[in-house]
Amino acid sequence: MIHLFAAAAVIAIASQPADEARAAFGQYETYTREYDVRLADLYADDAQVVARRGGATRMMRGDQWKALIRVGVPVAKQRGDLDTFSDVEAITLPDGTVRVRAVRFNHLKNYKSPYSAVWRQQGGRWLIVREEIQVAP
């Protein structure tokens, strides 16, 4: 019986970071849906952002991506360019970061693609430290 309680406590502790990062991703979804430039604040300055389009791969640092978000979000709103997410799962990694995976649906171009982001707690907040997206041509 004691072993069952200990196992339950370990599972609860192990899932807590995933639950917290999943909640932070929920804020990401809200900012995305509302075309809110505060989306940029969810990225660490030193994050690695990897965007794949066709055979090309583009990599940016978090501070560069954040600047692009602040310019691009108002443009996306004017165009009706919206992403929504489904099949979201969060898994705590051995180093304490959390990988969030989902299926991203772009409403403007009507396509689905895989989405992946690694979140790390930093300064009391969960921030994206690596993001991988695929963009349709």
Q: 49-60: string of b/e by CB count within 10 Å (b at 16+)? A: beeeeeeeeeeb
Q: Determine the pLDDT at residue 15.
A: 60
Please report which confidence band the pLDDT of residue 136 belongs to, taking 50, 70 and 90 as the band edges.
Answer: confident
For residue 130, which of 29, 32, 38, 59 has the smallest C-alpha distance?
Answer: 59
Q: Mind listing the pLDDT tens digit for each residue in 80-111?
A: 999 999 999 999 999 999 999 999 999 999 99
Collapsed DSSP state (helix, strand, coil) of residue 48: strand
CA distances for 29 relative to 13, 33, 137, angstroms: 25, 6, 23
Q: Mind listing the pLDDT tens digit for each residue in 24-56?
A: 999 999 999 999 999 999 999 999 999 999 889
Q: Determine the pLDDT at residue 6.
A: 41
Domains of the chain with bracketed CATH = 2-135 (3.10.450.50)
- Using the predicted structure, report yes or no on whether residue 4 has a pLDDT greater than 60: no
- Residue 24 phi, psi dihedral angles, 5° rounding: -65, -40
- The better pLDDT of the pair 88, 8 is held by 88
